[in-house]
Amino acid sequence: MEAASIHNEGGASPFKRASRAIGDKLLPIFAGLAILYMLIPIVVIAVFSFNDPQGRYNFEWVGFTTEHWANAFGIPELTSSLVTSLQLAAVATVISAVLGTMIAIALVRYEFYGRKPTNFLIVIPLATPEVVIGAGLLSMFISFSFPLGFVTLLIAHVMFCISFVVVVVRSRLIGFDRSLEEAARDLGATPAQTFRLVTLPLIAPGIISGSLLAFALLIDDFVISNFNSGTTVTFPLYIFGASQRGIPVEVNVIATILILVALAAMAIVLWQQYRADKMAKVEPEPDPMQEHPRESRKHAVTKQTP
């Protein structure tokens, strides 16, 4: 029996080794092709930000120039739309982070009537097409005779992104160690102090992750903004309008700047994670009093003896 099993393992092992070797080689290739497929549009945008087109359309390479980088914010309408998008995304992200965190804490920590339906309904905006959300919000604003503009965009964006914050923060709270809060209360901390000094720092990575996700979704949102913007022009709406008459090269420049800022933020986060992992691996220096207690006590007694 043992010889048969050894023979079977030996007969199957070459095929397993070959399939494992092929898989080990093909997986990096497929992953590299997928990453390349996603990065090609970004590279094209960055390259054509140095183009010097002769007409209104920046679709063919004509010549290299840095003139558009030197005057990246020279178009007032483009700069105004970018500032509007940044302000809208920042305010909506802050509101979504505060409300989403409160909702996540309520759903995880407390029992109340309608808790299970709320857990289900909070996910619906994630699966609903943006066209449906935008059209529904537009109908609501028109029904209440609410003027379309920055405020309606803010309401629509908060409603759209609050679910993302709730899902991320709730996943952080589910794995939260409640004994840390109990220890803080045993030491005399008030509920407010416990939340500020214990709970909030521990769930802060989830809040930051949800906020960054919401900001990334809001700054380039077009569908919902197109329904509820009124006369307010955001950065995506400006690009859509400019595409009908020719997108200026400055759009490529600003898009490249936003990409570089995002890459810098990612690099900072990765560097902080690397430092945290490195500090976690550092072991404290051993205490000589604990390593040699007998010698330490003997030395202390000898030192005290006249």
State pTM to two decimals: 0.76
pLDDT higher at 66 or 292: 66
Question: 206-251, pLDDT tens digit by residue?
Answer: 888 888 888 888 888 899 999 998 889 999 999 888 888 888 888 8
pLDDT digits (tens, 9 = 90+) for 105-151: 998 888 888 888 888 888 888 888 889 999 999 999 999 989 999 99
- Between residues 288 and 162, the one the model is more confident about: 162
Tens digit of each residue's pLDDT (9 = 90 or more) over 49-82:
898 888 777 888 888 888 889 888 888 998 999 9
Name the percent of the chain lying above pLDDT 90: 23
Judge whether 285 lies within some domain.
no
- For residue 213, being part of any structural domain is answered with yes
The residue to which tokens 């905006």 are assigned: 125
The CATH number that applies at residue 116 is: 1.10.3720.10
pLDDT of residue 300: 46
The reply to whether 224 falls in a domain is: yes
Supply the range of the domain harboring residue 85.
Answer: 76-247
Task: Say if 51 falls within a structural domain.
Answer: no
Distance between CA 29 and CA 290 in Å, rounded?
A: 53
Tally of structural domains, the chain? 1
Residues ≥6 apart with Cβ < 8 Å to 172: 203, 205, 206, 207
What pLDDT shows up at residue 31? 85
Q: What are the C-alpha distances in Å from 113 to residues 107, 153, 169? A: 11, 32, 21
Distance CA 237, CA 222 (A): 6
At 31, list the tokens: 């992953």
Is 153 among the domain residues? yes
| Assigned domain for 5 exists | no
